[in-house]
Amino acid sequence: MTYLLFSACVALATYMQNLTGFAFSLILLGLVGSLQLASIADAANAATVLTLVNAAVYFKRQALTPQWRVMLPAMPSSLVGVLLGVWLLHWLSSNAVEGLRALLGASIIACALLLLRPGPPRTALSGPRAFAFVGALSGVLGGLFSSAGPPLVFHMYRQPLERQVVQHCLLLMFACNALLRLLLVVGSGEFSMQALRLTACAVPVVYLVNRLQHRFPSKLDRRATQYLVAALLLASGTMLLSSSLKFW
């Protein structure tokens, strides 16, 4: 039953990811944490592999069109942030498990609120320092939870860029973060058999959902999609945060 429920969570997270270009790991970890299907560390490790699978399947059928003026300042700082985030995950997993769950819940709620109040769009592209700073914050979240979304998503969707370009930048950044995170976790021997089993049962789900969405694309507009994702994030983040607070 655990693997069946996990696969259902993966299907929903993949569907939302393909609609928006982000939120895969946040939704997956929020649902898994709320339902207590696995530890956050195992779920994050599985999400790392699934992020790479999802990006590979997506870019196989989509021409890659990132905005390199955005990517080049943000990428190095984001990768450094991943290193810090993985270290924090190791420390918190050993010393403050419920604190880790509370931090994840708060991060998910913050992302939902940013979606609901994205702020006014910019008329000119932000400078390299702004992208480097946001990239670092996203990298820390990526290392902690394989969920680099909130800071980068908020910043990118305010830029004067086409929606598809923003989605490609986000997916490429998340994939690079996930690759580094995977190398660090596997290299340190922290990729457990449970995480491997979760990944194995979920990879076919990611592939199938991508194929179905390519054949039957959604007709929801951008704002309706954002409200749908925000509602799901708020629900899962609130459940996760409240369960952690009850423990204390």
Residue ranges per domain, the chain? 2-247
Average pLDDT, the chain: 81
pLDDT at 7 over 60: yes
pLDDT tens profile 75-128: 899 999 999 988 887 777 666 666 777 777 787 787 777 777 766 777 888 888
Handedness of CA 178, 223, 106, 78 (dihedral sign): positive
Band of the pLDDT at 245, cuts 50, 70, 90? low
Phi, psi angles (nearest 5°) of residue 127: -75, 170
Query: Taking the model in full, what pTM does it have?
Result: 0.78
Q: Which residue has the higher pLDDT, 190 or 225?
A: 190
> Tens of pLDDT along 19-28?
766 677 778 8
CB 54 within 8 A of CB 210: yes
Of the candidates 152, 202, 168, the one whose C-alpha atom is nearest the C-alpha of residue 49 is 202
pLDDT at residue number 105: 77
| pLDDT tens per residue across span 142-160 | 887 777 777 787 788 788 8
Q: Note the residue count of the chain.
A: 248
pLDDT at 80: 93
pLDDT above 80 for 184: yes
Measured distance CA(75)–CA(68) in Å, rounded:
10
Report the pLDDT value the prediction gives residue 19, as an integer from 0 to 100. Answer: 75
**Distance between CA atoms of 61 and 73, rounded to whole angstroms?**
27
What confidence score (pLDDT) does residue 206 get? 86
